[in-house]
Amino acid sequence: MGIGAELERFLVATMEVPWSCAKDRIGGKPAAVLLADSMEVEALEQQLAGAPLVEAVVAVGGGRAIDLGKFIAWKRNCRLITIPSVISVDAFVTPAAAIRRNHRVEYIGSASPDPLVIDYDLIRTAPPRLNIAGVGDLLSIHTATFDWELSHRAGNNQHELHADDVRRARAVLKDVEKSAFEIRVLSDAGIRAIVEGYIAVNTICLPRGHYRAEEGSEHFLFYELEERTKRAFIHGQIVGLGIYLMSRLQENDADGITALMDCIGLHYQPADLGLDRRTLDESLRALRKYTESAGLWHSIIQEREISDRWIDHVLSGLEFI
C-alpha cells in the first residue's frame, strides 16, 4: 500500500480493528488518528474541531470510518483517500457522508476519493459475512426499480423515471447474479464484482442526484427499524431483510431474489440482526405512517395494505432471536 509515504501531512479516519491491520502497511506517520466511534453530528463536529490541519484525509475501514473521512475532507476542503477494509456498504465510492441526527440517517456534503485504493488482502481480513453484506445495496435494485416504476405509473414520482437507468441498474443486478459464487467465496473476482457494481450504480445515480435505482421500500424498512431500535445494523444485511419482505409485498419474484441472497450467503434473517418477532411486526405495522411522515418516496408501501394476515404469513418463513 504505502500511500502515506507520498503525503506530506495527513490524518487517518478509521476504527480500531481495521487500523490494527493497516497501520504497518500505510506508510508515513499520520498527524492524527481519529476513530469513528459515533456518527451523530455533534460527535463529528467535536472531532472536526480538534483535528489538525492536513493536506489529506486517509479513510481506512468500513462505512463509518469512510463517512468520517468524507465528512472531515468535505468540511476542510482537502484531498480524500479511501482504503476500504471491508465492503459491507458502498460508502467508499459515494461522495456524501452518512451521518446521524437524533439517530436518523442523513446524507450531507460531497467528497470523492482521490484515489480509491482496493487492497484485496486487507479486505479479506474482515469477517466474510461483512464483506458479503456489501452485495445488499446491489440486490436492492430488484425492489427499488420496481418501486420506481410503480410510482411512475401511480403518477406520484418524485424523480422522473428514466427507462435506460432502470435497464442499466438491472444489468448490474444481472452481473451480480453471474458472479454469485465468486462473491460467496470472496475471490478477487467476487470482491471486484461488488466494487464494480457500486461504481456502475454511481454512474447511473450521481448524474441524476438521487439513488432511486437502488433505494426503495427495502431501505425504508431499514430506516424505520433503526429509528425504532435506536441502534445500528450491518447495512447490507438489514437491506437484505427489506428485500425479502418488500419483494413479497410487491409480488415481485420473491422466491428468485431470496434464492440469490441464499446462494451468495447474505445473512438477512432477523436472528442474524438480533431482531425479535415483535419488533419486526411493529415496524411493519408502522411502516406506511413512517414513510409518509418522513417524506420518503412513493413505493409499494403506499400501494398495498400491510395487513395482519400478510404479516403473520410473511414472518412465518423467518428466523428470530
pLDDT in tens, 198-239: 999 999 999 999 999 999 999 999 999 999 999 889 999 999
Query: Given its phi and psi angles, is residue 76 left (phi above 0), alpha (psi -120 to 50 degrees) or beta?
Result: alpha
Q: Decide if 97 is inside a domain.
A: yes
- Are 51 and 157 in a shared domain? no
Give domain status of residue 304, yes or no: yes
Q: Is the pLDDT of residue 1 over 70?
A: no
Q: Indicate the number of domains in the chain.
A: 2
Which parts of the chain fold into alpha helices (H)? 16-22, 41-50, 63-76, 120-123, 128-132, 136-139, 141-153, 163-178, 180-185, 188-205, 217-229, 235-250, 254-264, 277-293, 300-303, 308-315
Look at residue 169 and tell me whether its pLDDT is greater than 80.
yes
Of 123, 156, 189, which residue is a domain's last?
123
- Clarify whether residues 110 and 230 are in a common domain: no
Instruction: Measure CA 183 to chain center.
Output: 17
Residue 41: how many other CB atoms lie within 10 Å: 15
Domain co-membership, 119 together with 216: no
The whole-number pLDDT of residue 36 equals: 95
Residues 289 and 148 in one domain: yes
The pLDDT tens digits for 97-106 are: 999 888 778 8
Nearest-5° Cα angle at 246, 243 to 251:
115
Last residue of a domain, one of 81, 106, 123: 123
- 308 and 209, same structural domain? yes
Residues 115, 134: one domain?
no
Domain co-membership, 12 together with 36: yes
Full-model pTM: 0.89
Which of 62, 17, 59, 58 has its CA nearest to residue 236? Answer: 62
Which band of pLDDT confidence, cut at 50, 70 and 90, is reported for residue 90?
A: confident
In a domain, 321, yes or no: no
107 and 134 share one domain? no
DSSP-based three-state secondary structure for 302: helix
For residue 287, give the CATH number of its domain.
Answer: 1.20.1090.10
pLDDT band at 89 (very low <50, low <70, confident <90, very high): confident
Residue 310 lies in a domain: yes
Backbone angles phi, psi at 25, to 5 degrees: -110, -10
166 occurs within a structural domain: yes
Q: Judge whether 106 lies within some domain.
A: yes
- The verdict on residue 320 lying in a domain is no
In percent, the amount of the chain with pLDDT more than 70 equals: 100
Please give the residue range of the domain that contains residue 261.
Answer: 128-315
Read off the pLDDT band of 262 (50, 70, 90).
very high
Q: What is the mean pLDDT of the chain?
A: 95
Is residue 290 predicted with pLDDT exceeding 70? Answer: yes
Q: In what side-by-side order are the strands of the sheet with 56-61?
A: 32-35, 10-14, 56-61, 79-84
146 and 162 fall within a common domain:
yes
DSSP per-residue letters across 207-239: GGTS-TTT-SHHHHHHHHHHHHHTS---HHHHH
Q: What percent of the chain has pLDDT over 90?
A: 90
Higher pLDDT, 89 or 13: 13
User: CATH number of the domain that 74 lies in?
Assistant: 3.40.50.1970
My answer on whether 61 and 165 are in the same domain is: no
Last residue of a domain, one of 104, 123, 142: 123
Q: Which long-range contacts (CB under 8 A, 24 or more apart) does 253-259 make?
A: 253/142, 257/139, 257/142, 257/143
CA separation for the pair 193, 283 (Å, rounded): 33
In this structure, are residues 120 and 188 in contact, taking their beta carbons and an 8 Å threshold?
A: yes
Residue 100 in domain: yes
- Same structural domain for residues 150 and 112? no
Q: Per-residue pLDDT for 282 more than 80? A: yes
The pLDDT score that the predictor gives to residue 102 is: 83
For residues 188 and 206, state if they share a domain: yes
